[in-house]
Structure 1
Amino acid sequence: MRRRIAAVDGVPAVRAILAGADDRTAIALATRYLLEQLADEAEGHTVEVRVPPFGAVQAIPGPRHTRGTPPNVVEMDAATWIALATGALAWDAALAELRVTASGQRATLAEHLPLTWETMEP
C-alpha cells in the first residue's frame, strides 16, 4: 500500500489522541494513519478492516477478495481501533466487550496488534 499520511503528520496525531485530544480532525488523522500502518505491516487482501466513517483497508496475507461483500470483515469505532493499534486494548478483550465485530474464518487481527507506529519518528 502506498502511504498517504506521512509519519511526520500521523505520529503526532496518534500521540495527541493518546494524550486525550478528542477533536475530529486528530481522530480522523490518527485512525487513517494507523489503518495505513496495519496495511503496511500485515500486507494482504484477506481481511477488510473498517473504521467508519474514517476509513477501511484490506490487510492480512491470504486469498484475495475482489468483488462483492468481503468474506472476512472486522469493524469497530475509532476509539477502539486506536486502542487496539497502540496496545491499550487487547484483541480478545475488545471482542469480549463487543467493541469489535468480526465475521469470517480469517477475521482476526490478534497476531498483528499492537502496531509498531511509535517507532516511526516524524
Structure 2
Amino acid sequence: MARRNISDADGAAALRAFHEGNTTPSLLATAVRWTLQTLAITAPGNTVEVRVPPYAAVQCIEGPRHTRGTPPNVVETDAETWLSLWLGELSWTSALVDARVRASGQRADLSAHLPGQNPERIEE
C-alpha cells in the first residue's frame, strides 16, 4: 500500500500550530510525517534511518544501502524534539548533549539538514 503524501499546506499548518503551542496527537502526527517526508525528498538516500516513534520513520542521506535488520546509521527522537530541531529552536549539538536525540553510526549526523524548511515560506 502506498503512503499518502501530506500536502505542503497541511504540513506547514501543522508545523505552525506546533510552534504556537498546539501539541495534540493528530497535529504532531501530521507535522512529524510532513517534516520527515520533506527530509527524505531533500536528502534522498537509504543510509540513515530517522525514527520519530510512534509517528513515522524514513530513510535518507546518500551512501551505502542496508537491506536487512537494523540499519547501521539510526537517529531516533521524540516528536517535540524532532519538530524543535526542524524549526531551529533546538540545535543538533544541544539535542545530542542533552540526550534528546540518539544517533548511532558514522553518517547519523543530520546537522547539515537542520533546521528544515521554514513553514512561514510555504504558501497556504
Q: Which interval holds the TM-score relative to the shorter structure?
A: over 0.9
- Structure 1 residues 93, 108: CA separation in 2 closer, same or farther (over 3 Å shift)? same
1:4 aligns with 2:42: no
Cα deviations by residue, 1:50-75 (Å, 9 ceiling, x for unpaired): 00000000011111122111000000
Residue matched to 2:74: 73
Task: Show the 5 A alignment for 1:25-40.
Answer: 25-40=26-41
Residue matched to 1:48: 49
Provide structure 2 residue ranges, at least 5 long, that are not aligned to the other structure. Answer: none
For the aligned residues, what is the CA RMSD?
1.3
- Flag as ranges the 4+ runs of structure 1 deviating above 6 A: none
Q: TM-score, normalised by structure 2?
A: 0.93
Residue matched to 1:64: 65
SS at 1:50 equivalent: strand
Residue matched to 2:108: 107
Identity of paired residues, percent? 55
CA distance in 2, matches of 1:81, 1:111: 15
Query: What count of residue pairs does the alignment treat as equivalent?
Result: 121
Provide structure 1 residue ranges, at least 5 long, that are not aligned to the other structure. Answer: none
Residue matched to 2:23: 22
Structure 1 residue 93: Cα displacement: 0.5
Does the Cα contact within 8 Å between 1:45 and 1:59 map onto a contact in 2? yes
CA distance in 2, matches of 1:8, 1:112: 21
CA distance in 1, matches of 2:118, 2:72: 28
